[in-house]
Structures are given as C-alpha cells and as structure tokens.
Amino acid sequence: MEIAKARTLSERELAEELASARRHLYDLRFQLATRQLTDYSQISQTRKDIARLLTVQTERELADGGAGRSSAAAGGE
C-alpha cells in the first residue's frame, strides 16, 4: 500500500487494514516455516506496509494533540 492511499483511509479503515496486514504477515511467516512460501519478498513488502500504516496512525495522533501523552511522561520524572 502506498502512503498516499493510507492517508486517505478513515481511522476505522486504517485499523482494519493494519490488522489485515499483520494477519497476512503471520500467514507468510507460517508458510515460510512450513516451506510453502515461494516469493520471499512478500515478507519485507508486508512489513513495509505495516510500517507505513503505523506511520499514518502516529501522524494522526500527533496532529490530534498527542503531545499531551509525551508531556505526561515527562512530568513523571
């Protein structure tokens, strides 16, 4: 998935896509362990897709005031 497409998804769609990508990665790892996987590049591509989705989630959290979370952590010192 491209980053531009990920940014157009709603919060719910983003969460569903992330869950789907994580499940796909799980399935690929299972196929790898059972020697059924033929295209090994799918693993790295899926990991990159997960990273892109997590990046979009983090961007949205920071844009919505995610700084409150980090200031609370700093206040506990």
- Looking at every residue in the chain, the average pLDDT score rounds to 89
Q: What is the C-alpha to C-alpha distance for residues 75 and 68, in angstroms, rounded to an integer?
A: 10
Q: What is the pLDDT of residue 54?
A: 97
Beta strands in the chain (DSSP E): none
Q: What is the pLDDT of residue 11?
A: 95
Report yes or no on 46 lying in a domain. Answer: yes
What is this structure's pTM?
0.80
What's the CATH code of the domain at 31?
A: 1.10.287.310
Report yes or no on 19 lying in a domain. Answer: yes
Q: How many helices (H) and strands (E) does the chain have?
A: 4, 0
Q: Is the predicted pLDDT of residue 70 greater than 70, yes or no?
A: no
Nearest residue to 41 (alpha-carbon basis) of 33, 32, 52, 50: 32
Q: What is the pLDDT of residue 65?
A: 84
Report yes or no on 18 lying in a domain. Answer: yes
Q: What is the C-alpha to C-alpha distance for residues 39 and 24, in angstroms, rounded to an integer?
A: 14
Domain that includes residue 10, residue range: 3-62
The number of domains in the chain is: 1
